[in-house]
C-alpha cells in the first residue's frame, strides 16, 4: 500500500512522525526550505566575520574554548561525526530510524540550525528511498550517538540497509543517486545535536501505545465476558463520578463491546462485586489513556521547539549565535518515563485477568483451559510467561530521567536521559504486546469452553466480542496441547503489533 506524502510546513506532529516511521514519504513545503537557507546564510556570515561560536569556530563539549581555524572547520564537522558514532548493541528497527530522521529534518526546518539545504535534502532522500542507516540502540546518554550513526551514511561512511541488503554508506548513497557530502562549518554539530532522537523515538512509541491501548480495552472486554463480569461497575453514570476522560472512554468501549452478551446476562448478580483486576479495568486502562494524552502533548511540544545548541538567528547582515540548553529534554524524559510506567501497569492488570481465566479456583472452567486436565497443561505455563514479562516491565519502570551522570570533563554535568527513557518505553511496549496476546489467547479459549454448554454456541457472545473471537479464530484454532504454544503466542503478538481490533458490527 502506497502511503500519502507527509508535508512539512510549519512543523510535524507525533502522528506525522509516526506515519513517516511506518513508510510515508516526506515532502518539504517552500517555507521550511526558506528558513533552512536563511539559517545557513547566517552561519556563513558568522564564519566570514570570525565571530566566536560554539561548535562553529570552537571545539565542542569540554573543548568549547578551543578555537578552530577557518581552514579546519569542515574537518571539525567530519571529525564530530566520526568520533560521536560510538554506539553499541542491537540495531534499531527501520521504523525507529525513520522516526529519528523525520524528527531531525523537522528540527532543521525551524531554521535555527544553520544546516546546508543539500544536507537536509540528503536526509530526505534516505527516507524517501527507504535507505536505513545502521544505528546501534545503546550508548547514548542524551542524543548524540544515534544521530551520528545516521550522519555517517551521509558522508559515505557507516552502513545502511537498502532493499533488504546491508551496504556500506558509500554504496548505499550511489544506489540512491547521491554522492558523499563534504560537511561545512557547524554541520557536524547540527547533525548530532538536539533532541531529534528521543522525540522521534517518542513519537514512534506513541503510535504503538495508542494501538495497544485500543487492543487492551478490546481484549479486556472478551475476558470480562468469559469471566461473567458484573457490568454494574461499568455503568456510565457510575463511572462519570470519577473525573477522568480516559475512564469514560474505556467504560464506553466495554459497554459497546459487551452489549447483548448472553453470558454476561446469565452472570447477573452471581457475585456482589468482581475482583479488582476485573472491576478496575476502566480505572487502570483509563489512567493509561490520560497519561498517554499528557505524553502526546509533551512530544508535540518538543517537535515544535528548537532543540539545537547553539542556535543561529538574526540575519545574514546581522548574524547572531546563542549558546543555551535547548538540547536537554527533561520534560520529554519525564513524560516518556511516565508512559512506560503506565504501560507496565497495563501489562500487570492483563496478567492478573489472565490468571483468573486459567485458575480453576476462580474461573469455573477446566483447569488452565484444557479439555484434558492432567494429560494436558493447557495455558498453565503461558501464564508464567505473562508473569515474567510483567515482572520485567516493573523493573523497566525505574525512571531513566533520574539516572544523572557527569560527562565531558564536568562541562556536561546534568543529563536528562530522554533517549534512554524512549528505548525503555519501546521495550515495555514489546513486553506488553505479548502479555496482552496471551490474555487474548486465554479469553478466546475460555469462550470456546463456555460455548460447549447446550444451547449456547455463538449466541453466548456479544456481537462486539464475537468479532474479536472470529478475528483470532481465523488466525488460530483452539489450543489442544498438540503443538508448541510459542508459535500461537507469537502469531497473536504480531496481530496486536500490526493490526487494529476487529470493529463492532
Q: Which residues are identified as catalytic?
A: 54
CB under 8 Å to 120, separation ≥6 — which residues?
A: 28, 36, 105, 108, 109
* Rg of the chain on CA atoms, in Å: 26
Return d(Cα 501, Cα 505) in angstroms, integer.
12
How long, in residues, is the chain? 505
For the chain, helix, strand, coil in percent to 5 are 60, 5, 35
Return d(Cα 314, Cα 331) in angstroms, integer.
28
Return d(Cα 382, Cα 414) in angstroms, integer.
43
Task: Tell how strand 159-162 and strand 165-168 pair up.
Answer: antiparallel
Return d(Cα 78, Cα 377) in angstroms, integer.
60
CA angle 326, 328, 334 (to 5 degrees): 125
Q: Cell for 385?
A: 510467561
CA angle 233, 283, 238 (to 5 degrees): 35
Q: Are 387 and 362 in contact (CB under 8 A)?
A: no
Count of alpha carbons within 13 Å of 143, Cβ hemisphere only?
33
- In angstroms, what CA-CA distances link 142 with 18, 285, 407? 21, 31, 10
Name residue, grid cell 463520578.
241
Pick from 103, 117, 153: which is nearest to 418 by CA?
Answer: 103
Give, for 268, the enclosing helix (H) or strand (E). none
Amino acid at each position: 500500500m502506497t502511503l500519502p506524502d507527509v508535508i512539512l510546513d510549519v512543523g510535524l506532529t507525533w502522528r506525522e512522525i509516526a506515519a513517516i516511521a511506518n513508510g510515508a514519504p516526506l515532502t518539504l513545503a517552500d517555507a521550511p526550505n526558506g528558513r533552512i537557507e536563511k539559517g545557513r546564510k547566517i552561519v556563513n556570515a558568522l564564519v566570514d566575520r570570525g565571530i566566536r561560536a560554539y561548535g562553529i569556530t570552537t571545539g565542542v563539549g569540554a573543548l568549547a574554548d578551543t578555537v578552530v581555524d577557518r581552514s579546519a572547520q569542515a574537518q571539525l564537522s567530519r571529525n564530530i561525526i566520526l568520533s560521536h558514532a560510538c554506539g553499541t548493541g542491537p540495531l534499531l528497527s527501520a521504523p525507529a530510524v525513520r522516526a529519528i530522521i523525520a524528527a531531525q529534518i523537522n528540527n532543521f526546518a525551524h531554521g535555527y540550525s544553520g544546516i546546508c539545504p543539500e544536507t537536509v535534502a540528503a536526509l530526505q532522500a534516505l527516507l524517501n528511498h527507504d535507505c536505513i542507516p545502521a544505528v546501534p540502540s545503546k550508548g547514548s546518554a542524551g542524543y548524540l550517538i544515534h544521530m551520528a550513526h545516521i550522519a555517517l551514511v551521509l558522508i559515505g561512511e557507516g552502513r545502511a540497509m537498502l532493499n533488504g541488503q546491508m551496504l556500506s554508506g558509500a554504496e548505499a548513497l550511489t544506489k540512491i543517486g547521491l554522492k558523499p557530502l563534504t560537511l561545512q562549518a557547524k554541520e557536524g554539530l547540527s547533525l548530532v545535536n538536539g533532541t531529534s532522537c528521543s522525540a522521534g523515538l517518542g513519537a514512534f512509541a506513541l503510535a504503538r501505545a495508542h494501538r495497544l491501548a485500543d487492543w487492551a480495552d478490546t481484549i479486556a472486554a472478551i475476558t470480562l465476558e468469559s469471566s461473567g463480569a458484573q457490568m454494574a461497575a461499568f455503568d456510565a453514570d457510575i463511572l462519570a463520578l470519577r473525573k477522568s476522560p480516559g475512564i469514560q472512554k474505556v467504560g464506553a468501549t466495554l459497554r459497546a463491546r459487551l452489549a447483548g452478551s448472553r453470558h454476561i446476562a446469565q452472570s447477573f448478580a452471581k457475585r456482589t462485586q468482581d475482583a479488582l483486576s476485573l472491576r478496575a479495568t476502566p480505572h487502570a486502562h483509563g489512567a493509561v489513556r490520560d497519561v498517554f494524552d499528557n505524553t502526546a502533548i509533551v512530544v508535540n511540544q518538543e517537535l515544535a521547539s528548537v532543540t539545537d545548541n547553539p542556535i543561529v538567528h538574526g540575519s545574514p547582515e546581522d548574524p547572531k549565535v546563542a549558546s543555551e540548553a535547548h538540547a536537554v529534554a527533561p520534560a520529554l524524559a519525564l513524560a516518556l518515563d511516565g508512559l512506560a510506567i503506565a504501560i507496565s501497569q497495563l501489562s500487570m492488570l492483563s496478567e492478573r485477568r489472565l490468571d483468573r481465566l486459567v485458575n480453576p479456583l476462580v474461573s469455573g472452567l477446566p483447569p488452565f483451559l484444557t479439555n484434558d486436565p492432567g494429560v494436558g497443561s493447557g495455558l498453565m505455563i503461558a501464564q508464567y510467561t505473562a508473569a515474567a514479562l510483567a515482572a520485567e516491565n516493573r523493573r523497566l519502570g525505574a525512571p531513566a530521567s533520574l539516572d544523572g551522570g557527569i560527562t565531558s570533563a564536568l562541562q556536561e554535568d546534568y543529563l536528562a536521559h530522554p533517549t534512554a527513557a524512549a528505548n525503555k518505553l519501546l521495550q515495555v511496549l514489546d513486553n506488553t504486546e505479548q502479555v496482552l496476546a496471551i490474555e487474548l489467547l486465554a479469553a478466546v479459549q475460555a469462550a470456546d469452553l463456555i460455548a460447549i454448554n447446550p444451547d449456547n454456541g455463538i449466541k453466548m457472545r456479544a456481537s462486539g466480542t464475537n468479532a474479536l473471537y472470529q478475528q483470532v479464530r481465523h488466525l488460530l484454532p483452539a489450543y489442544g496441547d498438540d503443538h508448541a504454544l510459542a508459535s500461537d503466542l507469537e502469531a497473536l503478538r504480531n496481530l496486536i503489533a500490526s493490526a487494529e481490533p476487529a470493529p463492532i458490527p
